[in-house]
Amino acid sequence: MLNKKADAALPLYLGPTLAALVIVLFIFSIIFFVVGIKQNPDLVIKPAAYQDSHNIITILKIQKNNSTIAELISLAAEDKNYKNELSSELVAILQKLPKQKPQEDLAKSRFAVPSEVKGSLQSSEWILEIFIENELFMKVGEKPFGSSEYLGQSVVIPLENKKLAEIKLFLACTLCSEGEINAIA
Amino acid sequence: MLLLDKNKKGLYLPLFVMIVPVILAALLGVMISAENDKEDFVGFRAVKILKAVDESGKINLYIDVAAEHSKANALKNMAVNGGYNSKNRCEKTARTLVDNEQYVIWNTCPVLNLEKEFETEFKQELKSLLQIYKSLYKTADYEKILGRSSQNRQDYAVFYTGNVRNASILSIERKQSEFMITISDIALPVEETADSAIILQPKTKIQIPDFFLYRKLHKTISERCINREFNDCSAEITSNFPGSEILHEDNIYKFKIPAEGLTIKFALMPESQIPSYQN
């Protein structure tokens, strides 16, 4: 078995060859590792990247006194007497939408640790804006101080006078994390 | 060296060591180019389809609201034209110093078929509202989601807007107390995908308006105003339709009949017959 001619020469180049192989594999393992790290870190899309309009569509379809909210917007655009009715209906509807509430009450806390302070300062409000021909016609809800806008939704509906109304809905939230917003979404 | 020359099998290991870097370099090249070409996240394509579905929901809402407004506008226009559609071929009274308005002269009109007239007027109104549709669709923010800009980005809001504006009303069918309106298919191409589209087949419905007042008015006019004195006609109309205004100018009677927030307006030549009423 040991009489093969190649086996006799093997000891001469085995060491340098194996060393070269190890060096090559080592270098490439580092390169592959670096390339792997550079690849997109978030491979699964975040819920916040997709913002559908189910809330605003549902709101506009709600029936109130034989007419939908969408029809009420059209009536309010023609007759200012309907504006108050529309505003009060929208306030009541927006209060029913889920939102981020303050998580901590500092009055009940013995030690004001940073997470509790942040939790106590959290506040959010749904804001609905109606634009007619790009001019603000009505705004329902007040943005909390220092809030950012999340979960924006918008839809266009026609009015009886053949103008377009653009209705925007968004959650204005102070100190809300991405995870908390995703939970609401 | 003598041994190596004689034993070629002994060259396999060094040859292998030389080939390994070439294979690994090629693999690395493929990985890098594939990564650069990649414009997808897990769920990104699904999100694009959902966005197109969301757009279809918005279009359906727009059409539902537009249908209700078209109904109201159609009834208003019909009332101004004495029950006929606004593109009717009836003769109209001339404007005068006393009355600057024009009135459709009933005697010069074809058979009065209110449902047909309503369908014609409704179609015109709905089409005019479809033609002002504006999509608010926002193309995915590739910079934000993928960290790089995408080549050849197209504005899908323009596609969607155009497709809705070009839609036509295929049919209006009567189903019990409702009109079922069918609109031509609207294609919503899915963002950044070749040949993928959601085909929306919009349908909406409205309550059939009640034309009882027109029937009653037609009957009263034909029985109490044709070949009758103005005073008799006027008394009959005002007792049957409180709040009505009737003018007598030259040989023409002009009527303004209040009806559920609208005013039915028409004129009459009392010596000649009026067109028949068709249910």
pLDDT tens track for B136-189: 998 877 666 665 566 656 789 999 999 999 999 999 999 989 999 999 999 999
Instruction: Give the number of C-alpha atoms closer than 13 A to the C-alpha of residue B165, restricted to the C-beta side.
Output: 11
CA dist., res. A51 & res. B263, Å (int): 46
Tell how strand B178-183 and strand B169-175 pair up: antiparallel
The count of structural domains within chain B is 1
Task: Output the average pLDDT for chain A.
Answer: 81
Which helix (H) or strand (E) segment holds residue A36: the answer is: helix A5-38
Q: Which residue has the higher pLDDT, A178 or B51?
A: B51
Inter-chain CB proximity B43 and A44 less than 8 Å: yes
Interface subset of A 1-20, CB within 8 angstroms of B? 4-6, 8-10, 12-14, 17, 20
% of chain B at pLDDT higher than 70: 90
Q: Is A173 helix (H, G, I), strand (E, B) or coil?
A: strand
Domain of residue B63: give its range: 44-82+113-207
For residue B178, is it within any domain? yes
Interface subset of B 139-158, CB within 8 angstroms of A? 140, 144-147
**How distant is the Cα of B251 from the closest Cα of chain A, in angstroms?**
37
Helix axes B44-80, B114-130, angle to 10 degrees: 140
- For residue B35, which residues of chain A lie inside 8 Å, CB to CB? 35, 38-39
Task: Kindly tell me if the per-residue pLDDT of B253 is higher than 90.
Answer: yes
Nearest CA in chain B to A159: B69
Task: Output the average pLDDT for chain B.
Answer: 88
Q: DSSP assignment, residue B273?
A: P
Region A133-140: mean pLDDT is 94
pLDDT on residue B45: 80
Task: Kindly tell me if the per-residue pLDDT of A105 is higher than 60.
Answer: no
The reply to whether A180 touches chain B by the CB within 8 Å rule is no
Q: Where are the beta strands (DSSP E) in chain B?
A: 112-113, 169-175, 178-183, 186-189, 197-200, 203-207, 245-249, 252-259, 262-268, 277-278
Region B193-221: mean pLDDT is 92
Region A83-106: mean pLDDT is 82
pTM score of the predicted model: 0.80
Minimal Cβ distance to A52: which of B28, B50, B144: B50
The reply to whether B20 touches chain A by the CB within 8 Å rule is yes
The reply to whether B38 touches chain A by the CB within 8 Å rule is yes
CA dist., res. B252 & res. B268, Å (int): 6
Task: Kindly tell me if the per-residue pLDDT of A158 is higher than 90.
Answer: yes
For residue B177, is it within any domain? yes
Specify whether the CB–CB gap between B48 and B196 falls below 8 A: no
Region A40-52: mean pLDDT is 65
For residue B194, is it within any domain? yes
The reply to whether B165 touches chain A by the CB within 8 Å rule is no
- For residue A155, which residues of chain B lie inside 8 Å, CB to CB? 58, 61-62, 136
Inter-chain CB proximity A21 and B140 less than 8 Å: no
Task: Kindly tell me if the per-residue pLDDT of B216 is higher than 70.
Answer: yes
pLDDT on residue A7: 59
**How distant is the Cα of B46 from the closest Cα of chain A, in angstroms?**
10
CA dist., res. A101 & res. A113, Å (int): 19
Inter-chain CB proximity B21 and A24 less than 8 Å: yes
Region A79-93: mean pLDDT is 92
ipTM over 0.95: no
Inter-chain CB proximity A154 and B136 less than 8 Å: yes
Nearest CA in chain B to A75: B69
Interface subset of A 96-115, CB within 8 angstroms of B? none
